[in-house]
C-alpha cells in the first residue's frame, strides 16, 4: 500500500524503521518487483504495510510484512523471499488522548 505523509508518520510512530523516499534510486526497481508500496527498512530488511480490510469500512490499519532480508553484515544488500508477517500491527487512524 502506498501511504500518504500522515500515514507514514503514524506508521513510524509504531514501527522502528526508515522510509525509502519516492525519489530513492531503489524505489523504481522495488516497485517493479513488489508493486506500489511505501517501503520501510529496518534492521531485519525490507517491509511493506498490508491493509487489514474490514468490509464496507475505510482501512484503519495494517500489518507490517517483511518481503526481503538483509543478505550481508553491512545492511547494504537485500534478498527477496515470500512475504512473512512481522506481527507488528499499525493503526493508521488518528488516536485521540
Model confidence, pTM:
0.88
Is 62 a member of any domain? yes
Residue 66 has pLDDT above 70, yes or no: yes
Overall domain count for the chain = 1
Is 96 a member of any domain? no
Q: pLDDT band at residue 1, thresholds of 50, 70 and 90?
A: confident
Q: What is the mean pLDDT of the chain?
A: 90
Residue 96 has pLDDT above 90, yes or no: no
Q: Give the pLDDT confidence of 71-85 residue by residue, as tens digits.
A: 999 999 999 999 999
pLDDT at 25: 93
Is 76 a member of any domain? yes
- Distances 13 to 37, 51, 77, 89 between C-alpha atoms, Å: 18, 17, 26, 12
Nearest-CA neighbor of 86 among 53, 60, 59, 62? 62
Cα–Cα distance for residue pair 54/16, rounded to 1 Å: 26
> In which domain, by residue range, is 40 found?
5-91
DSSP readout, 38-60? --EEETTEEEEEEE---TTS---
Amino acid at each position: 500500500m502506498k501511504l500518504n505523509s500522515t500515514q507514514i508518520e503514524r506508521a513510524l510512530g509504531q514501527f522502528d524503521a526508515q522510509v525509502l523516499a519516492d525519489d530513492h534510486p531503489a524505489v523504481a526497481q522495488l516497485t517493479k518487483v513488489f508493486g506500489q508500496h511505501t517501503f520501510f527498512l529496518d534492521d531485519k530488511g525490507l517491509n511493506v504495510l498490508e491493509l487489514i480490510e474490514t468490509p464496507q469500512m475505510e482501512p484503519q490499519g495494517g500489518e507490517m510484512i517483511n518481503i526481503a532480508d538483509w543478505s550481508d553484515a553491512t545492511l547494504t544488500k537485500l534478498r527477496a523471499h515470500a512475504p512473512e508477517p512481522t506481527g507488528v500491527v499499525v493503526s493508521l487512524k488518528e488516536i485521540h488522548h
